Amino acid sequence: MDASLKMLPFLKNFPMIRDLTLAVPPSLVMRFEPNAEALAPRLYQALHDEGFTLIFAGANTVADSRLMGHWHTMRNRVLLANLRREVLAVWPDLEFQPSLSDLESLLLLTATLKESLRLIPSGVSLTRVVPPGDAITADTHIPGGTTVGMAILHVHQATAVGGEDVLDVRPERWFEKTTRSSEARDAEVVGSMSTLRSDLDH
């Protein structure tokens, strides 16, 4: 992938060459590849791993969040009625889709989506091992070789983040006034997985 990135601007601006390149059968390409027999198993393993990553990171998480959001919304008639009223205000005719900015301006819809993301069952996090040479994370010295990690569920269900009713489904929590800004809460809950990953990778 890294090697092909340099070619993307060229292929984008010359579609005829791009089409000709993509038309070459993979079997023919492998014939001109040096040491193809040794490379093929590694390519297969790389594609295999990337495929599973796409399934778990791109499909399962989206499906889980949609399932949790729909299930809890359908059980709450008041929330469902308010959501319908809010969406119909910007989308009265299904044939004419509103703009993304119009949908993003819907406070209750946005809060419900965030609450759905907060409640999804967390996947198993990859083990993070501190590399040789130690690391400093949040002003704390961590020796090399130490296994570190945190389940995202611990953050999502922390009363310090979500309040005493953190286990309840309550989208209103996302637009209530708190001592912290909404951006800070978004970073802690919705984006906490990437934040933790960034901290633990150092």
Residue-by-residue DSSP string for 116-154: HHHHSPPPPPPPEEPPTT-EEETTEEE-TT-EE---HHH
pLDDT given at position 123: 57
Model pLDDT, residue 156: 82
pLDDT score recorded for residue 179: 41
Sites in the chain below the pLDDT cut of 50? 1, 178-181, 189-202
Looking at residue 86, what is its pLDDT?
96
The whole-number pLDDT of residue 101 equals 93
**CB within 8 A of 155, min separation 6: which ones?**
161, 188, 189, 192, 196
Dump pLDDT digits (tens) for 66-83.
Answer: 888 899 999 999 999 999
pTM comes to 0.56
Q: pLDDT per residue over 85-97, tens digit each? A: 999 999 999 899 9
Six-digit token string for 29:
């390409």
pLDDT at 194: 47
What is the structure's pLDDT at 9? 76
Q: Is residue 118 packed enough to be buried (19+ CB in 10 Å), middle (13-18) or exposed (0-12)?
A: buried
Q: Go through the domains of the chain in sequence order and give each one's CATH number.
A: 33-201 (1.10.630.10)
Instruction: Cite the DSSP H helix spans in the chain.
Output: 2-5, 8-13, 15-23, 26-32, 36-54, 61-75, 77-90, 100-104, 107-119, 152-156, 159-162, 182-189, 192-201
